[in-house]
Amino acid sequence: MPVDQPLRPELQARLDALQRKHELEAVADLIGPLARECISLQLGDPVPGVPIGASRIGAAPDVPAGFEWPREPNGAPIPFIAQVNSADVPRVTGHPLPASGLLVLFYTEADGVLVHVDGLLTRTPRPAGDAYEYYADLKPHLLTPTLAISIPGYCSPLRPPPVDFGNFNDLVAEAAGENRASIGQLLDWPE
């Protein structure tokens, strides 16, 4: 989404309220143009028997038959972490996300792969040789994608010049929907 794309009115009202709450009205004209819409992924309770295609973290991915599991350069399978159903994602102005199917995330500290799958899906168990066995115990939790606001963080060269570190970080986190249930964002400013 282009930086100059204005927030929709309800998000602009939320940003204005957060700037007042965190005493950053003096730099509101610098923060506002950098704010953009994003999607916050909110973690739900553990759910046994999650339906095929549901937005969730944990368990095994839902992919088409014959799916080729992403692998590290040494051939080890990259662990499945989460999947997001495109139908669950609120529409963000100008976003590049597909309108249907699943975004499936495989991740290690060294490698990350995001795959888009669509069509007839089946739950596919982890391949043998997975070096990250601790992910196997990750219980499935539903994910709820919600509309949020992304602002470049304090370490970004795009952030407004001297502002109160604590207040600014609190504003950035709260605008992005970060809380105990948040596991990350889509379409946000990179760290």
pLDDT digit of tens for each residue in the chain (191 aa)?
A: 444 578 999 999 999 999 999 999 998 998 999 999 999 999 998 888 889 999 999 889 999 999 999 998 888 888 899 999 999 999 887 778 898 999 999 988 777 899 999 999 999 988 876 666 666 667 889 999 999 999 988 788 887 776 778 899 899 999 988 877 888 888 888 76
| DSSP string for the chain | --TTPPPPHHHHHHHHHHHHHTT-GGGHHHHGGG-EEEEEEEEEEE-TTPPTT--EESS--EE-TT----B-TTSPBPPEEEEEEGGGSPP-TT----SSSEEEEEE-SS-EEEEEE-SS-EE-PPPTT-S-GGGGG---EEEEEEEEEE---TTSTTS-SS--HHHHHHHHHHHTT-STTEEEEESPPP-
Structural domain including 27 reads 1-47+145-191
Whether residues 162 and 174 fall in one domain: yes
Whether residues 97 and 35 fall in one domain: no
Look at residue 136 in the predicted model and tell me its pLDDT.
66
Whether residues 133 and 151 fall in one domain: no
Count of structural domains within the chain? 2
Whether residues 64 and 122 fall in one domain: yes
Look at residue 118 in the predicted model and tell me its pLDDT.
94
Whether residues 108 and 165 fall in one domain: no
Whether residues 150 and 132 fall in one domain: no
Whether residues 41 and 123 fall in one domain: no
pTM of the predicted structure, to 2 decimals: 0.84
Look at residue 108 in the predicted model and tell me its pLDDT.
82
Whether residues 79 and 133 fall in one domain: yes
Look at residue 131 in the predicted model and tell me its pLDDT.
63
Whether residues 131 and 166 fall in one domain: no
Whether residues 10 and 23 fall in one domain: yes
Whether residues 41 and 60 fall in one domain: no
Domain end among 123, 139, 155: 139
